[in-house]
Structure 1
């Protein structure tokens, strides 16, 4: 059984935001000279970085990581993924760093080699205080034959400000650039013909054309991930779609259409088959036999299904955690409103990624093949950028995954649609009613007259129920409660300077007008989480409280001192963390290793096939573990790594989970790029209890369900926390 590495959770988002590497000289952007939308390409970070043109060590730019005293965060990591197919025994990461008033911790470089080979997390070169540009380096041993991933970069743990610049990597003392053997992919050379448009516009849809478009989309995606020549990067598969569509889209005669498809596929290259037994776990290939294709086309597709494929693919590979990383997917950012061909490409690309690599396809709740046919008119007929983006938002929301948010970083269309201004009240759905539960800013709009506990019934003349009804189809969420959570965050957004609302207080209906503010003024992203000085405390003489998101390694002795003699420990996982030392906390609570999770991973060789990993363990042998009750608090804000953490920490001997339905999105994410600069995600790794119990959509197992009430909100009570205290005192 495998033991968990504590650091994997803290880097899950930045790691998989990084694009897969292309083999050319500027591939790594080690000196941060290539900046897109204010960020250095190829690099990720758990917090926004600052690009500095005034203090570079080399070239035009350096990168600043900064955490000030008022920040709720206590660490920031800059991350890059490195290739790992080199023969060698050691890898050295070096970089230049400058610091200013680094305190309550230190800065340094870091690197990790998977699976579980070696890591150095800011330990080799601990830099504090104020220092000028200095070169630092760390060297780790690695087994090149068994390495599945290498990530590294620079980071700050504590407070202060650091600059980073001019990184380099050496394998056994040889610069990585001299070891790179550029591979010329034919797909990378096919870049001109359709760069300004697909040439496919104004498709007049009818039943035959929609059927043709559906079949083409399914065959195109199947070949993308199954045909050896396409997998090897011999074709720009986006452009091949544009070459194919005009040949078959208008063909009314099915036999002629299938003959044209058969001829096109034959031109891709010879196929060699083997006798492997393919396990079609999620039934993604049944359509080949059930679609009514000609015998020749069906036989051809079956032969490709049985083709001899290697464990690598130009368009996708598996990340260190086992979730898909989609490669070589052009974003076509300049096409804010792509033409019909590119919009269909967007639909086909997304549909097939879900078809072959989404571990929860079987619980979407709809026939995924029918979804493709349903959305062909939506994408083909979109008359402007907004309609196109909303169609993409609806199909992504339709997989019912809390990770499946959609954004357009280079476009304002969504910001305009949802509103670029907002009022200061914070809304949550309490007893299924839109309730004021806090205020984002206490200094703005003091005249609004609202109080905590007021229930909003109308916004600018629209009832809350009608707003919910209109927003649900485009709102990502694994379950209804999480969709309401996300809708609540947008209720008081608009593009005007005021919002008129109706609300109920103590049974009486009232009206008021709220001022709106730019989001940065309203402090929209302030998290209502415990403050840094309250993450470890006694809330009663016999009860300790932990908010682990702000816990630092240096706090662990204080944590043990606070809990060791307490009757109960409350761990609050209702807020997404800025940091979390999962294994360190678990080792205090669990007396011996215990299984708590197993993963459901996809396959590169046979896309659509998934298999369970052995169960993973948490904890270590510890006779001096904590002996009291452990109560874990959860709600709809408990998502992803917090759900994973709940599964792990609930293995403590006397642990109970108390609260309401969690977000139901428990697994590493995979990023997706679509034409027009659209970006979205899927949960790319299935997460299950060791007995096979489901976590996606339904959330984490809860021992005692407690939901906040209107009366409790009005009284300023935390009813979930109160119940935890009551359980401890029983």
Structure 2
């Protein structure tokens, strides 16, 4: 029996329509969720790993107050970089300065400060939501802390988990090109004078930035607490701007990252300085003149000269004195960068003691003002516009340097050597452009150049893959099919390493030379109180098989390393071996 005049047929018909409508909505919803999840998963990338740190520990050699300052630094980093409360974030730096002064004066308890900060955030949506079901990667240091009390441990963990549910914009943001932006994190930068408290803020900012956003943090994570304790007195006890800047440089050296550079103040640090025009290379404890930077600038030095002293000071002593403040991805690259500084001076002339042809000579080397050297180099670059910069060497072998070519002259340069039996690409310098459109002139194969990753700004410390926008172009019909030798060494760095990975798509290519610099990926720039900036790697690079090459470099197919014997003769044994390889092959 059906009430209200419904017959069984009408009941079934009406409910069938309802069921059909319901299933239509359900299917649409499921399809929408599917495509939304697919879109988001492509956008977010794959999680590779999390940056984690150790607990402060019970090392009796570290003063108790220093341990408190490290826990304060860690807690400040959690609150600042996980929070999306813009009004609160603006007060965090000033608050840290006050907290530092109170702890140093012994006027407060660290746990009281932590509790107070978290109480201010108790109404924030970062902590108000329901229970978090995801994975919390880095809470071990909180749970094992001997300084933070049980109540604050729970509050800190609750704050982090609450922030994970909230996808609102953080202080650090990601640009469309994948680079990280710290543009909104520049409080106290324009103040020329610093205090111990502001320099403590600078240290905490550096320490936490590396801890959360540095792509290669895993290589140094085990010693990161020790770095804080080592740097703390250098920062807070700096007596002037020079000592403060030196402290930042020493901090940067601990990253072993050749992208690291420190700038203090508004002026160009090279204003009024003079530079030599030679490339120096240290092998087997000896430093030789390997070549010259700008062809049109004269030098009294010759290839193969061994540098013994500069202005009467032993060169090894000079090199050792520069190591502390310079960051190199490995010893070879650190030596390269230090050698660049040896002939940098405020004097126009320096005296060099050199060994040449079994004789010891004293040479007065005239240096070039850096502004003049830059203009001369730029003029040489402009001169190459539209001109063929390639040449033919040996028995019909094409040769071209990567730092001579750009989109405006590659076509004519390639035409000049397109008929040769083989081509040598010299990648032992920094390229002018990152574009790889010129690869269309070569017979290439489908090739994944590299995997890129960076920090996920929503989940500080998480590293995710991002899209690699470097794509290999299709080859032209009459593409070059002969052997291509890619010359590499420690000067193949960053963009040069990216270019190398792209050029390995050439079917008949072989890499020859020495390990590359092992410094790849875009950079991030951090501003500190007192008009100090520091640059470091901000994007990670892995080979197609996810092998890391940071610090180690990319190994060539054929390893040819320079020796003191080859350098003393002024020989380029890598180029010589490339020519021999081609002649044997063909």
TM tier relative to shorter chain: 0.7 to 0.9
Alignment partner of 1:219 is 2:72: no
Q: Which position in structure 2 is the counterpart of 1:539?
A: 393
Q: Which position in structure 1 is the counterpart of 2:557?
A: 703
1:59-78 C-alpha deviation (Å, 9 max, x unpaired):
xxxxxxxxxxxxxxxxxxxx
Q: Which position in structure 1 is the counterpart of 2:261?
A: 405
Alignment partner of 1:470 is 2:321: yes
In structure 2, stretches of 5+ residues that fail to align are 1-41, 45-60
In structure 1, stretches of 5+ residues that fail to align are 1-145, 149-204
1:568-625 C-alpha deviation (Å, 9 max, x unpaired):
221121121223531x222333444221211122111111011234777743554654
Q: Which position in structure 1 is the counterpart of 2:534?
A: 680
Decide whether the 8 Å contact of 1:547 with 1:572 is kept in 2. Answer: yes
Decide whether the 8 Å contact of 2:403 with 2:430 is kept in 1. Answer: yes
Among residues 105, 113, 119, which one is paired with 1:260 in the alignment?
A: 113
User: Partner of 1:535: helix, strand, or coil?
Assistant: coil
Give, in whole Å, the separation in 1 of the partners of 2:500 and 2:160. Answer: 40
Alignment partner of 1:581 is 2:441: no
Among residues 487, 499, 509, which one is paired with 1:645 in the alignment?
A: 499
1:93-147 C-alpha deviation (Å, 9 max, x unpaired):
xxxxxxxxxxxxxxxxxxxxxxxxxxxxxxxxxxxxxxxxxxxxxxxxxxxxx99
Residues 1:685 and 1:244: Cα distance change in structure 2 (over 3 Å): same
Once the two structures are superposed, the pairs formed by residues 327-726 of structure 1 within 5 Å of their partners are 327-330=183-186, 332=188, 335-364=191-220, 367-411=223-267, 420-438=273-291, 450-496=301-347, 498-516=349-367, 518-521=369-372, 526=377, 532=384, 533-540=387-394, 542-553=396-407, 555=409, 557-558=411-412, 561-562=415-416, 564-582=418-436, 584-613=437-466, 618-620=471-473, 622=475, 624-713=478-567, 715-726=569-580
1:14-58 C-alpha deviation (Å, 9 max, x unpaired):
xxxxxxxxxxxxxxxxxxxxxxxxxxxxxxxxxxxxxxxxxxxxx
Alignment partner of 1:239 is 2:90: no
Alignment partner of 1:277 is 2:134: yes
Q: How many residues matched?
A: 518
Residues 1:550 and 1:501: Cα distance change in structure 2 (over 3 Å): closer
Residues 1:391 and 1:718: Cα distance change in structure 2 (over 3 Å): same
Decide whether the 8 Å contact of 2:445 with 2:505 is kept in 1. Answer: no
Once the two structures are superposed, the pairs formed by residues 14-33 of structure 1 within 5 Å of their partners are none
Residues 1:521 and 1:649: Cα distance change in structure 2 (over 3 Å): closer
1:610-657 C-alpha deviation (Å, 9 max, x unpaired):
123477774355465432212111122211111011011112222111
Give, in whole Å, the separation in 2 of the partners of 1:435 and 1:334. Answer: 43
Residues 1:422 and 1:560: Cα distance change in structure 2 (over 3 Å): closer
Q: Which position in structure 2 is the counterpart of 1:16?
A: none
Residues 1:278 and 1:624: Cα distance change in structure 2 (over 3 Å): farther
Instruction: Kindly indicate which of the two structures has a greater share of residues assigned to strand.
Output: 1
Give, in whole Å, the separation in 2 of the partners of 1:485 and 1:528. Answer: 25
TM-superposed deviation, 1:673: 1.1
Residues 1:450 and 1:457: Cα distance change in structure 2 (over 3 Å): same
Q: Which position in structure 2 is the counterpart of 1:301?
A: 156
Give, in whole Å, the separation in 2 of the partners of 1:369 and 1:608. Answer: 16
Give, in whole Å, the separation in 2 of the partners of 1:636 and 1:220. Answer: 39
Decide whether the 8 Å contact of 2:423 with 2:483 is kept in 1. Answer: yes
Higher relative contact order (CA 8 A, sep 6+): 2
Alignment partner of 1:313 is 2:169: yes
Q: Which position in structure 2 is the counterpart of 1:30?
A: none
User: Partner of 1:474: helix, strand, or coil?
Assistant: coil
Residues 1:252 and 1:147: Cα distance change in structure 2 (over 3 Å): closer
TM-superposed deviation, 1:433: 2.2
Residues 1:715 and 1:465: Cα distance change in structure 2 (over 3 Å): closer
TM-superposed deviation, 1:689: 0.8
Decide whether the 8 Å contact of 1:212 with 1:249 is kept in 2. Answer: no
Decide whether the 8 Å contact of 1:343 with 1:380 is kept in 2. Answer: yes
Among residues 50, 60, 65, which one is paired with 1:209 in the alignment?
A: 65
Give, in whole Å, the separation in 2 of the partners of 1:624 and 1:655. Answer: 17
Decide whether the 8 Å contact of 2:402 with 2:429 is kept in 1. Answer: no
- Which stretch of structure 1 is more off in the superposition, 427-436 or 513-522? 513-522
Rg larger in structure: 2
TM-score relative to the length of structure 1: 0.64
